[in-house]
Every structure is written in structure tokens, then in C-alpha cells.
Structure 1
Amino acid sequence: MEALSMQTEYDFFEYLDRVAANTWPAESNTMVDQWLIRASKGITKRANSVFAIGSFPRDDNWLSHVEQFYHSHGLPAIFHVSSASPDQLDNLLQDQGYELDTPCYMMTANSQQVASYTEERIKKQYPSALDLELEITQSVTKEWLDAFLFLEQYPEERRSFYQGLSDRMPATKAFVTLKDHGQIVALGTVIVEGEWAGFVNVIVHEEHRGKGYGYAILHAMTAWSITKGATQQYLQVIATNVPAVTLYEKLGYQVKYGYHYRVKYDLAELVSS
């Protein structure tokens, strides 16, 4: 009975990992057996890492193939290691000189619960957030992307990646914007696949934090996703981002499992041998 429970839990981790991976499609992909090798000119670890989910590749030289691929792209070799990865993978990569990087949580919640919690919190504590102007588009707009790059303080060179990323996302998606007297104060992206809604690129203007706008943008994204059939939702958050984790927990989110990256920067010796 315990083995069955563990397998069922693993199956859930693998399923949700695959759904979440669809929200961040890379510019180019190749396969080593069932593992997906992603590359996007080095912008974000998620889009430039091996999606190492499921059993090890049957090819014994899989690690060499991965490292050759990333070296040929001028990138470090990065592995996405989660609770759905093979048990021995993390130790194997550590032994091969791969550094631990960016521990993250996968958090999930019931959509109706989040909708209720956010609405209640806004009405009781942040009624002015009810006056914000809401805009929802099915494709990314220049205004949305301009604001996103500005709020994240990303350089203009990243525009083409995020434009392409937005275009490659699954079809049922929305780019959500909140404005206060014409100024964008919060935004986010929501993608729905089946019963699951995934939230990415959620950000509140630094000068407008503490006004309940975080609750407002999450409520707007949740409400939209429910109209598209989502009953559950998930988001991925860096484990050390305590304020964000605390906010999500207040809304009913729970940490389901964790993942991190393993990174190796020096691939020169392998390629020259």
C-alpha cells in the first residue's frame, strides 16, 4: 500500500512538472531519449536546461551528449532536478562537479479557494484595489512587454526572448494588467491546460507594493482561469523568496515538492578531449 502511494505521488509530480514545463517553452529543443534539452541563448535557467524527468536515458553517454550540446551553444550545462527526476541524478551530478543552484518550490492551490481568499482580503483590507483598471489580452502586447521589462529591470536585449516565449506558450493563455490612473502597477501571465492554471511573470510595481495589488492581480488571474475550466492552480517560486511564499500560503497555497538546478560552467576539457 505504501509503495502504491509513493508511486501515485511520483506520478503526480511528473505530471505537474510536465504541465509546468509547457508554460516556458525554449527557443530550441533536442532529446536525449525522453529527456528534453532546452536552449534559449542563456536567458533563464528554465529555458536553458535539461528537463530531466523520468528514468535515465538508455544511452550510457547521455551526460557527454548533454555537455557537448551546451558547449556548442556557448552555454553552461544545466539540469532541472525535481522530485520527478531519478533518485540518483542529483548525487551523480554533484560528483561530476555540478553546483547546486536556485532551489525552488512548486506550490498548488484550489482555484475557488484562492478566488475567495483574494476577494475577501481586498474588500476587508485594500478596498482601493477594487478601483484598478483590469486589462486582459489573449496575446502579449507591446505595452505589456514594455511594462514587464521595465518592472523586472531587464535589458532591452531580452525583449525578443520574452516575445517569443509568449508566442510559444500554449493557446489558452492571458496576459493580465492592472492599472492605476493609466499607470501599470501589476501584471502577470496565466496559462490553462486541462484543470490546471499556471501563473508566471507575476510582478507588482515596486513603488506600489503594500497596497493589495498582489492580491488583486492573483484574483484577476484566478477568475479568468476559472472561466477556462481550471479548478486547480500552481506557481513556481524561489525558495528563499520568503515574502512571496508567505503571501501564497495565506491564500491557501501549499508546497507540494521542490526542485533545483545543477550547473556546470567549465565544459572545455570535455570538448577538447
Structure 2
Amino acid sequence: MNQGWPAEAKTELDGWVLRRNRGVTKRANSVLPASAPFDLERALDYVENLYQAHGITPSFHISPAVQPADLDERLEARGYAVQAPTLVQCAEVADLLDRLPDGPVEVNISSAPDDAWMDAWWRIDGHGGADEQATAREILDRSRALYATVPSTGPVKAIGRLALVDDWAGLYCLAVDERYRRQGLAQAVMRALLQQATTLGVRRTFLQVVVANEPARALYDRLGFLTVSRYHYRVKG
């Protein structure tokens, strides 16, 4: 997941990865605590000083693999609040293609996001203004991916992104204009992306869905995605 959404800068700190991307998206502006630092309190002080020096709110990505194991509790005691509880789900691409309907929806697939794709994503699901949009585009451009647009011409109704990481693919930025929802466009986007990905040797896919997003979770459950992990952020108050 980290490779599918790479930050502009990262600092290694005794087993932690401190990701920074000018404050745009929590994924790219949080600590990935992969192993326990020797001096935890000193490491926490360093994180807070570094992030605050860059104008970023100190945040930690907390999963079952977090190190040290009691980091969540330690951060809570330090005034960090829980944000965005999220499920990590996986599925075999072949199984998904068997379940996704093969309809008549026209989907354009490209290897880079054009202006129409970016504008649609920011209109439907973006957070911030033009500067934040430009920074988010840089995140997308740092990793290999496929981009889907519905339709290929005219006003964009739906978009999606499939990050390519070895024989895995990560589904990101699946968004449908509210005027065109419940028409199967999200499934059409997923099918087109996954079909293209199979030609590149991709066999498995993952996604991250916020626990509170019940419509998306219902779709992924119907398609056979299985929850394999979960995470949340601890954000300094």
C-alpha cells in the first residue's frame, strides 16, 4: 500500500518511516511504524518536531503490525485522537472478473491521469484547492498505475485508479459523480481496470475502505473482497 501511494519525502527513524507530502492526504503524511525504536519517547519528540517544522499535523498509521505493540495506547496518552478507521481488503483478480458484470459502459484506460480525470476526482472526492490538487497529482505520478475514465469523451461520470505493485494491484480513487450513481459505473470501472491489469501479470488486488463508508463496503462484500487487516490514524490534537 505504501508503494501504491508514495510520499514526496520520507525519513527513516530507527525502524519508523516518516512520510511527508506537504500535508496532502494522511497516507502520505503519517508515520509507518514498522519496528520499535530504541528510545520511544525520544522518537515521538523527533516526529512531532519534524512534522510541525514542515507545517504537518503529527499522525501515525496504526495497524495490527504496529511497533511497539502498545504504540496506540502511548499515543492516546499523549493526546492523539483516532481518525478514519479503515479496512484493508483483498481478492483474486480472476474471482472478481467472474463476478463483475460485463456491460456496455464505455471505459477509457490510460497510464496517466489527464486533466479531465484529475478535475473529476477533485470535484467528486477532493479536499482542498488548486495547490492541494497539484500536490495530489504528484503523488499519483510517482508510481505505476492505470487510470479509468467514464466515458472517454464528454463530461466525466466516473473514474478509478489501479496502482501496480509487482503482481498486486491497489484500487484507489474510485469515484462516481452523484448524478450518475446506481448505474453500475463503479463496477464497470473496476472491471476495465482489472482486465487491463491481467495483461500485465497482476493476479491479486487490494483496497482500503473507510469503515463508515457502508455503500462501498456493501459493494466490495458482494464482489467477494475479504477483510485481511485494518488500520486507523492517531492524529495529534
Secondary structure in 2 matching 1:46: coil
Backbone CA RMSD of aligned residues: 1.5
Secondary structure in 2 matching 1:148: helix
Note closer, same or farther for the CA distance 1:92–1:102 as it changes in structure 2 (3 Å cut): same
1:215-234 maps to which residues of 2 (within 5 A)?
215-234=187-206
How many Å separate the matches in 2 of 1:191 and 1:251?
19
Aligned-pair CA distance for 1:153: 4.9
How many Å separate the matches in 2 of 1:31 and 1:245?
34
Identity %: 32
1:78-89 maps to which residues of 2 (within 5 A)?
78-86=59-67, 87-89=69-71
Aligned-pair CA distance for 1:46: 0.9
Partner residue, 2:37? 57
- Structure showing greater radius of gyration is 1
Query: Which one-letter code corresponds to 2:135 in the other structure?
Result: F
Secondary structure in 1 matching 2:231: strand
**1:44 and 2:13 aligned:** no
How many Å separate the matches in 2 of 1:191 and 1:116?
21
Partner residue, 1:27? 8
Secondary structure in 1 matching 2:224: coil
**1:249 and 2:221 aligned:** yes
Partner residue, 1:109? 91
Native 8 Å contact 1:188 1:201 kept in 2:
yes
Structure 1 runs of 4+ aligned residues shifted over 6 Å read none
Q: TM-score, normalised by structure 2?
A: 0.93
Deviations 1:170-197 (A, max 9, x none): x3x1111121873311111111222211
**1:91 and 2:73 aligned:** yes
Native 8 Å contact 1:132 1:180 kept in 2:
no
How many Å separate the matches in 2 of 1:260 and 1:225?
29
1:99-248 maps to which residues of 2 (within 5 A)?
99-119=81-101, 122=102, 130-154=103-127, 155-169=129-143, 171=144, 173-179=145-151, 182-248=154-220
How many Å separate the matches in 1 of 2:236 and 2:117?
34
Gaps of 5+ in 2: none
Q: TM-score, normalised by structure 1?
A: 0.81
